[in-house]
Amino acid sequence: MAPAKRPTNSPTSPTAAIKARARELGFELVGIAPAERPPHADFYLDWLERGYHGEMAYLAREDAVRRRLDPADALPGARQIIVVAMSYAGGADGPTDDPRQPVIARYARGLDYHAIFEEKLEQLAGALRQLAGDATRTRCYVDYGPVLERDHAQRAGIGWIGKNTCLIHPEFGSYLFLGTILTDAELQNDAPFLPDHCGTCDRCIWACPTGAIEESRALDARLCISYLTIELRGPIPIELRPAIGNRIFGCDVCQQVCPWNKKVRETKEPRFAPRAGPDVPELVELMRLSEEEFEARYADSPLARAKRRGLLRNVAVALGNWADPVAIPALIDGLNDDDPLVRGHAAWALGCIDRPEATKALEFRLQLEDDGWVRTEIGLALER
């Protein structure tokens, strides 16, 4: 006679056991959702159709879109999606009022969360195979895989998608890293998180420096400072540069103004804690980073994603917004950098500083410059 099957909601069931293991690994939140078409699939398709993804072509690739709409395409036979979350809240919001200092998004001030999450997700997937059988199939994703994490997180009961387009939990706010495990194991689904606690609040919409958030909860990435300073590989549009201020990697404004982030639990993961001291140099020092220095400083940091050329592009914009003559020598170094992306933005920044030495440097570089786009930037800077 076959043994009786344990109920999926019993304390000894694989569902309860895998949730307990997730918490042991440091995940503050864990939920389970069906591996089905995400509720906001049509919204996502419309978002792509409107071009709101900008130059992030990987989001619109046919195979990636197909997998985002059908999890079973990523893992044939998938039944459930385990969604886990870890808080990265902690530390001050950054010296936004000191124009000499760079502002870095909170999530990027510690070690690269991808490696930390991958390690923990693989451990959790291994525990699931032990519980449900070695034949159990799993596939883990952090935020680079073709998965609409926030949709599945809401359906797994972890939180709601706020007007700032972030997933928000009543106790942990929106400073959350999300991870998912697709599996063909049979687990018990959690009830979806149905309340929308944003109510009539629209602080995030009005606080966004570039107006990237629409009332429909659509984010136009082409206007988002996080996109402009991280994902965009080319020049930052001139009309958007002043709004960036001294933010050189990412932007937290829409989260900083959210009432649900005022009193949140701080992260328990020490590797997410902000770095301090010499790891946060002033803008002028950053403008002089060599390739070797960049690699040494940021190899294990999320800032590595921007690469040196992207980071120095952002630093030049921040120095232009500061417009203090003390930045001129560092910007002149940038004006003579090997990378045209750095040279062009350094030219823009020098054009923001009304001093003879800035003008002289631009005029001299114009005689040497052979890159058409950089020449245009220098010409516009001289006009200003």
- Active-site residue set: 143
Chain-centroid distance of CA 97 in Å reads 23
Name the pairing type of β-strands 80-87 and 247-249: unpaired
Contact yes or no for 36/42 (Cβ under 8 A): no
* Structure-block tokens of residue 339: 């990378």
In this structure, the chain runs to a length of 384
The kind and range of the H/E element at 18 are helix 14-24
d(CA 211, CA 240): 10
Q: Helices (DSSP H) in 162-304: which residue ranges?
A: 203-207, 225-226, 241-244, 253-256, 283-286, 291-298
d(CA 96, CA 251): 11
Name the pairing type of β-strands 29-34 and 80-87: antiparallel
Give burial (CB, 10 Å; 0-12/13-18/19+) of 56.
middle
Task: Name the nearest CA neighbour of 205 among 187, 217, 197.
Answer: 217
Contact yes or no for 184/190 (Cβ under 8 A): no
CB within 8 A of 371, min separation 6: which ones? 340, 343, 344
